Chain A
C-alpha cells in the first residue's frame, strides 16, 4: 500500500500539479491566443507589452468575415464538399464493410491488406496524376473534382472503421433473417443498419474531419475564388498585402467550430475515429 501524507509524498503531488499546469499552458496557450486575438483590433494585436485579455473587445473581425460574400462562399464550399463526401463514403464503406464482416471469400486477406496499406499512400504522389486526369476530363475547378479525389482518401479509413464496428455485432441477428428466407441485402438494411448507428456516426464524423482539413487537393485542383474551401481561404487572406491578423484569427475560429462542436457533443465517436487508423 502507498503511504499517504508523508512530506515526501505531498511534495510529489505538488510537483505533479505544477507539471500539469505547465502542460496546460503548452497545450492551450496558442489556442487561447488565437481566440483572444480574434476579438482585438489589428493594432492591439502587436501592442507592447502584449495584452492577455482584449483591452478594447471588438467583433469587427467577425463582422468583416461574415459580411463578406466571398468568405461565406468558402464556408459553403467546405460544408458542401465535406457533406457530400461524407454521405457517399459512409454508404460505399458500409457495403464494403458488410462484405468483409459477414462473408468469407477468396481474396479477402489480400484485399484487406491493400485497404490497410492505402492509408499510407502519400497524397503528393497522387496529386500529379489526379491533376492530369482532372484536366483531361474537363472537371478542373469543380466540386466533382474535389469530391472524387477526397473519396479516395476517406474510403479506406471508413471501410476499416465500419468493418471493425460490424465485427462487434453478433451474427445471430442476420442469420435469423436468413432462416426466415430473407437475403443478405434485407438483413443489411433491416437488421444491421439500425443497430450500427454508433459506428455510422463515428465514421461520418471522421470522414467529415478529413475533408474539412484537406488542403493540398483543394489548392491544386481548384482555381477560382468561388470554388475555394476554408483552408485555402485562410491562405488567400494571408497572401493579401497588409496582414489582417484579427480577421485571420476570426476566420480560423470559425473554421474550427465544426470540429470543436463535434468534439464537445460526440467526444466518444470523435476519438473512435481519430484513433481508428492506429488500432487494428
Chain B
C-alpha cells in the first residue's frame, strides 16, 4: 500500500463509525432530545401548543402544580404504588426463583412451572387491566370466592370504592410484574458456584444460613439493578391505571402519569401539563443517574 492509500484508509476508518451511528443519532436527537428541550420550553409558556405566539410565563405553571393538592396526592399514590410493587415483585420473584431452583422438584415439573410462572409477563397492560376488572367485578369470581370462605361479608367494589381502589390497582400491577425478577434471579442463581454451597455443607451450615450468607449476597447486584429499573418503569405506569380506574374514584388512584395526561388532554392545559411532565422527567433522570453510576461501579 502506498502512503497516500494508507492515510485514505485511515480516514475512512475514522469516519466510518459516525456514519454507521448517524441514522440512530439523528432519530434520537430529533425525536427524543429535542422534544425534551421543547417540553421544558412549553412549561415556561402561556397556552403552549395552542397558540402560535405564546407569551413567557416564568415559573407560574410550576407554582400552579405545587399549589394543587391533587398533584401531591398523585405523587403520594405514585410512591405507594411503586414501592409496594417493587417490594412484592422482588419478594415473589425471589420466592419463585428459589423454589424452582430447588433440587427437590422433578426437572420436568420444574420446566413446566417455569413457563407457567412467567405467564403474567406475556400480557399487554391493557389486557391485564381488563382481566382484573373482570375478576374484581362486584359480581365477579374473586368476591364470590372470598364470600364463600367468609373473608368478606358483602360484595366489595374493589376498583370503585376509594378505600380499596389504590390497593387493587397495586395488586394487579404486582401480579403483572414479578416475572422480570424471577427470570433474572433464576439466571443469577445458576451463576453461583456450587463449591460455595459444598464448603458451607462441610462447615455444617443450615439452609437458612446458606440463603443469608451465600445466596442473597451473591444475588445482590442483580437485586439492586433490577429494583432500580423496576422502580423507574413502575413510576411511569399509565395504561393499567387508566383502564382499571382512570385515576378515580375521586382522585384516589390518581398517579403522576394520569394527572399529567388529564391536564393535557382533558383540560387542554398543555403548559401546566408540560410543567408536570418536566417534574416526572427530573425524578426519572435522578434515578437513572443513580442507576448508571451503580452499573459503572459494578
Question: What's the nearest-Cβ distance from chain B to residue A245, in Å?
Answer: 6
Given contacts A23-B117, A131-B49, contact A215 B144 (CB under 8 A): no
A197 contact set on B, CB distance < 8 A: none
Given contacts A27-B116, A216-B238, contact A125 B287 (CB under 8 A): no
Q: Are A123 and B105 in contact, CB atoms less than 8 angstroms apart?
A: no
Nearest B residue to A135 via CB reads: B49
Q: Are A231 and B117 in contact, CB atoms less than 8 angstroms apart?
A: no
Q: Contact check: which of B17, B38, B124, B184 meets A132 at CB < 8 Å?
A: B38
Question: B21 an interface residue at 8 Å Cβ cutoff?
Answer: yes
B27 contact set on A, CB distance < 8 A: 92, 151-152, 155
Given contacts A16-B104, A118-B28, A183-B12, contact A124 B261 (CB under 8 A): yes
Question: What's the nearest-Cβ distance from chain B to residue A32, in Å?
Answer: 10
Question: A148 an interface residue at 8 Å Cβ cutoff?
Answer: yes
Interface class of chain B by DSSP: helix
Question: A167 an interface residue at 8 Å Cβ cutoff?
Answer: no
Q: Are B24 and A256 in contact, CB atoms less than 8 angstroms apart?
A: no
Nearest A residue to B260 via CB reads: A124
Nearest A residue to B264 via CB reads: A128
Most chain B CB inside 10 Å of its own CB: which residue of A1, A13, A128:
A128
B260 contact set on A, CB distance < 8 A: 124
Nearest A residue to B103 via CB reads: A2
Q: Contact check: which of A17, A31, A105, A248 meets B130 at CB < 8 Å?
A: A248
Q: Are A48 and B144 in contact, CB atoms less than 8 angstroms apart?
A: yes
Question: B152 an interface residue at 8 Å Cβ cutoff?
Answer: no
Question: What's the nearest-Cβ distance from chain B to residue A34, in Å?
Answer: 5
Q: Are B35 and A117 in contact, CB atoms less than 8 angstroms apart?
A: no
The distance in angstroms between the C-alpha atoms of A122 and B260, with both chains bound, is 12
Given contacts A103-B13, A117-B292, A279-B184, contact A12 B257 (CB under 8 A): no
Stretch from A59-67, A168-176, A269-277 forming part of the interface with B: A269-277
Q: Mark B1-25, 1 if CB is under 8 A from A, else 0.
A: 0000000000011101111110111
Q: Are A30 and B288 in contact, CB atoms less than 8 angstroms apart?
A: no
Question: What's the nearest-Cβ distance from chain B to residue A188, in Å?
Answer: 8
Size bracket of the B interface: 35 or more
Q: Are B124 and A231 in contact, CB atoms less than 8 angstroms apart?
A: yes
Nearest A residue to B29 via CB reads: A114
Residues of B241-298 at the interface with A, using a CB-CB cut-off of 8 Å, are 242-243, 256-257, 260-261, 264-265, 270, 273-274, 277-278, 280-281, 284-285, 287-289, 291-292, 295, 298
Q: Are A126 and B123 in contact, CB atoms less than 8 angstroms apart?
A: no
The distance in angstroms between the C-alpha atoms of A255 and B288, with both chains bound, is 32
Q: Mark B114-141, 1 if CB is under 8 A from A, else 0.
A: 0111111111111100111111010111
The distance in angstroms between the C-alpha atoms of A259 and B125, with both chains bound, is 13
The distance in angstroms between the C-alpha atoms of A111 and B20, with both chains bound, is 13
A50 contact set on B, CB distance < 8 A: 140-141, 144-145
Given contacts A27-B119, A99-B16, A220-B265, contact A49 B144 (CB under 8 A): yes
Question: What's the nearest-Cβ distance from chain B to residue A222, in Å?
Answer: 13
Q: Are A99 and B134 in contact, CB atoms less than 8 angstroms apart?
A: no
Residues of A185-235 at the interface with B, using a CB-CB cut-off of 8 Å, are 212-213, 215-216, 220, 230-231, 234-235
The distance in angstroms between the C-alpha atoms of A260 and B120, with both chains bound, is 11
Q: Contact check: which of B16, B117, B257, B278 meets A103 at CB < 8 Å?
A: B16
B242 contact set on A, CB distance < 8 A: 215
The distance in angstroms between the C-alpha atoms of A27 and B117, with both chains bound, is 6
Q: Are A124 and B24 in contact, CB atoms less than 8 angstroms apart?
A: no
Question: A41 an interface residue at 8 Å Cβ cutoff?
Answer: no
B137 contact set on A, CB distance < 8 A: 46
Question: B187 an interface residue at 8 Å Cβ cutoff?
Answer: yes
Q: Contact check: which of A28, A99, A122 meets B119 at CB < 8 Å?
A: A28
A interface, CB within 8 angstroms of B: 1-2, 12-13, 16-17, 19-20, 23-24, 26-28, 30-31, 33-34, 37, 45-46, 48-50, 92-93, 95-96, 98-100, 102-103, 105, 108, 111, 113-118, 120-133, 135, 148-149, 151-152, 155-156, 159, 183-184, 212-213, 215-216, 220, 230-231, 234-235, 238, 245, 248-249, 252, 255-256, 259-260, 263, 267, 271, 274-275, 277-280
* Beyond A125-B280, A235-B126, A235-B243, 5 additional pairs, beta carbon < 8 A: A46-B139, A49-B144, A120-B229, A120-B285, A275-B184
